[in-house]
Structure 1
Amino acid sequence: MSNQAAGAASERRGDPDPAEFIKANMRLLPVPSLPEIRLHMAHPGSGLRRLLEPDDGTRERAVAPPYWAYAWAGGAVLARYIFDRPSTVVGRRVLDLGAGSGLVGIAAAKAGAGGVIAAEIDRNGVVALGLNAAANGVAIAIVGEDITAGPPPAVDLVLAGDVFYGRAVARRVVPFLDRCLAAGIEVLVGDPGRAWLPRQRLRLLAEYQVPDVGGNGGGAPKPSGVFAFVPASAG
C-alpha cells in the first residue's frame, strides 16, 4: 500500500493521516550505533496513541503494537553487520522480513543490494517504512501483507530481525524460513535472545552491544547476535 492510499483510507475512516502524523510528531534521528541511517522514531511527546486508536478513545479497532516506531535490537545488529560486511548484500536481491521501520532493508540498500523487498503487515508501519526509505535516499519495494504462508519471493537473501518475539509468530516464521532454505535462499537472523528464538537452528556469526527498543535512546545496551539460520539436520 502506498503512502497516498493509506492516507486516503485513513481520511475515509476519520483517522489521522499516517504520513502527515509521522512527519509532524515523530523525530527523524540517527539510530544509536548506526549513524548511517535516520528513522522517524517515537518519543515521549509524540502522542503516538492518537495514530493507533480511534479519536473517541475506544478500542473498537484492533491495533498491533507500533514495532515500526522504534529501532529494535535484532534489526540494529543486522544493519550493523551489513555495514561492517557489505559483501553480504552487494548485488543480491534481499527480503527484509517483518521490516518494521525498514532499518534492515535501508541498510541493505545503502550497502549495495541489487534490490530490496520489505514485508510489513502494520498499515502505519508500511507508511513509516516508505517515509524512512525516502529520508535515507533509497528505493525499497514494500509488501504490506503477511508473506509467511506462501512461497518465498525471488530473492537471494532473507534478513529476519526481531521476528521471534512470540510463539504464534515463531510458528509461522520457522516454516517459511525452511522454505527459503529449500529454495536455496540464505537466511540471517538478528535477535537479542528472546524466548521463542529457535536456538538449535542458529549459528552465531557476530555479536554487538546495542539498546533494545531503544532507537529513541531508551534501553541499556545488551549483547545481541547475528545468526545464520541453518537446516534442521545441521542445527
Structure 2
Amino acid sequence: MTTVAILEHSGDKEPKEERAAAGGYISYSNFEFCGYNLKIARIVDDTMGVSAYVWEAGIALCRYFEKEDINFTGKKVIELGSGTGIVGILASLLGGEVTMTDKPKILRQIENNISINIPFACRHRVNVQPLVWGEDHTSFSADYDFILGSDIVYSSVCYPALVETLRHLANQGTTIYISSEIRPRNRSPAFHKEVLPQHFECQVVETVEAKDVVVYKMTKICTPR
C-alpha cells in the first residue's frame, strides 16, 4: 500500500507538523513506500528554492519502485538533484549503495532526512556529495548500476549540462530512471522525445496522467570506438 502525504505546494491542506527554524521553518510530511514509513523534512527558507518540496515526480518514482518490487541490494546507485532525498533514501532502504547529490546548499536538507529515516547501522551505504551538472561531474566514476532522477528536467538552460553529466556517469550496463513532470513551457517534451534519444535508449515505463508525470527507463547508446 502507498500512502501519499498532503503537500503544501499541491494547493491542499498544510502538512500536519511544522517547526520554526532560523530564517524560515521546517515542515514534515509522512509517506509509506515498499513497507517503509518515511518522514521527510523540508527546510523552507530563502536558500532552498524548489528543493524545499517533495515533487509529484519523486512520489511517482517511489511508487514505481514499489509496484515493480525493485531491489537495489548490492547495486551502486547515484541520484541527481536529490532535493529532500526521498528517492535516494528509499533506494538505500531497498539495499542500494547510494550516492545522493545536489548543489552544495541543498546537502544539509538531504543529510537531515538521512538522519531521520536511515538506521545508523545502514548509513555506511549512503554518501552525500555536491554535484553541479556540467562542472564537476568528471570527479565521479562511471561504474554505477543505476542513475536516478526525479523532476530534474525543469530548466532548458540546464539541459546540455544534464546530458553531459548523464553521459559521463552511465556505462553500457547502467539503468537510468528519470521521472518527469511534463511541462511544455520549459520544452521538456522535446527534451525527452528528441534530445535524450540521441544518446540513450528511452522507454516509458509509467505514466501518472492526473499529474502529467512520466517515468522513463533509459540505457546509454554506446558508439563503437
Q: TM-score, normalised by structure 2?
A: 0.69
- CA shift for structure 1 position 119: 0.7
- CA shift for structure 1 position 88: 4.8
With a CA cutoff of 8 Å and minimum separation of 6, indicate the structure with the bigger relative contact order.
1
The corresponding residue for 2:42 is 41
Distance 1:148 1:79 in 2: 26
The corresponding residue for 1:121 is 103
Amino acid at match of 1:37: L
The corresponding residue for 1:199 is 193
- CA shift for structure 1 position 87: 2.9
Provide structure 1 residue ranges, at least 5 long, that are not aligned to the other structure: 1-19, 43-47, 53-62, 210-220
Distance 2:64 2:214 in 1: 10
The corresponding residue for 1:6 is none
The corresponding residue for 2:86 is 103
Distance 2:166 2:79 in 1: 12
Say if 2:71 and 2:95, in contact at 8 Å, map to a contact too. Answer: no
- CA shift for structure 1 position 231: 4.2
Candidates 87, 98, 108, aligned match of 2:70: 87
- CA shift for structure 1 position 97: 0.6
Number of residues of Structure 1 aligned to a counterpart in Structure 2: 183
- CA shift for structure 1 position 71: 0.5
Cα distance per residue 1:59-109 (max 9 Å; x no partner): xxxx5x522211012222112212333435232111011111101101101
Amino acid at match of 2:39: R
Distance 2:88 2:26 in 1: 20
Greater strand share, 1 or 2?
Answer: 2
Q: Secondary structure at the match of 1:163?
A: coil
Say if 2:150 and 2:179, in contact at 8 Å, map to a contact too. Answer: yes
The corresponding residue for 2:215 is 226
> 1:91/1:207 Cα in 2 relative to 1: closer, same or farther (>3 Å)?
farther
The root-mean-square deviation of aligned C-alpha atoms, in Å, is 2.9
Distance 2:215 2:100 in 1: 19
Q: Secondary structure at the match of 1:76?
A: helix
Say if 1:180 and 1:186, in contact at 8 Å, map to a contact too. Answer: no
The corresponding residue for 1:215 is none
Identical counterparts, % of pairs? 17
The corresponding residue for 2:11 is none
The corresponding residue for 1:143 is 129
Cα distance per residue 1:110-156 (max 9 Å; x no partner): 2221x110011041x21111111111125321002325443353421
Distance 1:41 1:184 in 2: 34
**Residue 50 (structure 2) pairs with residue 67 (structure 1):** yes
Say if 1:180 and 1:187, in contact at 8 Å, map to a contact too. Answer: no
Say if 1:158 and 1:185, in contact at 8 Å, map to a contact too. Answer: yes
Say if 2:41 and 2:109, in contact at 8 Å, map to a contact too. Answer: yes
**More moved, 176-185 vs 25-34:** 25-34
Q: TM-score, normalised by structure 1?
A: 0.66
